[in-house]
Structure 1
Amino acid sequence: MPTLSIFFGIIIKMRHDDHPPPHIHVEYQGFTALVEISSGNIIAGDLPRKVAAIVNEWCETHRIELMSNWEKASQFEPLDRIQGADRD
C-alpha cells in the first residue's frame, strides 16, 4: 500500500482500487483507522483524539490532492506524495 505522507509519527496510506467512499488508511503507534477524505472523519478503526484532529485538519488542507490520488489509485496509476502537517 503506497505511503502518501508521514508526519508526527502518523503514516497516511492509500490502496489502489479500494472500496468507496474515498478514504485514507492512517497508522499511529499501533492504532489504525480509515478516514473519509471528504469529511476527515474516522469511518472505521480508532485513533487518539489529538491524532484524529490533526488528520482531520490535514485532510481539509489537502483534500484536492487526496481526491486526485484517489482517482489515480482507481486507475492503478502511481500516487503522489503529499506534504505532511509538519511541513516535511
Structure 2
Amino acid sequence: MYLYFHAYYQDYKAIINIHTCEIIEGVLPPKQMKLVLAWTEIHKDELLADWQLASRGELPFQIEPLK
C-alpha cells in the first residue's frame, strides 16, 4: 500500500510516495521535482500523520509550504 500525496505545478502533476520520497506517477519539471522531494523528506513524519488523519475522515494539520 502506497502512502502518497499529489503535487501540482502549472500543468504538471505527480504522485509522491511518502515513505520513499519518490515520484510514483506523473512528472514535474526538474527544479520543482527536487524541491518537492526535499520537502517530502523534511516533512515525512508530518505527512504520515496527516495521511492517518485523512484516512479516518479527519482534517489534516497544515504543513509548512515550500519557501
Question: Gaps spanning 5+ residues in structure 2: where?
Answer: none
| Residue 40 of structure 1: how far off its partner (Å) | 1.5
Structure with bigger RCO (C-alpha 8 Å, 6+ apart):
1
Q: 1:66 matched to which residue of 2? A: 47
Could you tell me which of 69, 75, 79 is aligned with 2:60?
Answer: 79
Q: Which amino acid aligns with 1:83?
A: E
After superposition, the C-alpha distances for 1:25-61 in whole angstroms (9 at most, x for unaligned) are: 0000110110011122110011011111101100010
CA separation in 1, counterparts of 2:33 and 2:5? Answer: 12
Q: 1:49 matched to which residue of 2? A: 30
Report the TM-score, using the length of structure 1 for normalisation: 0.73
CA separation in 1, counterparts of 2:66 and 2:8? Answer: 15
Question: Gaps spanning 5+ residues in structure 1: where?
Answer: 1-19
More helix by share: 2
CA separation in 1, counterparts of 2:6 and 2:58? Answer: 18
Q: Which amino acid aligns with 1:52?
A: M
Could you tell me which of 22, 25, 29 is aligned with 2:10?
Answer: 29
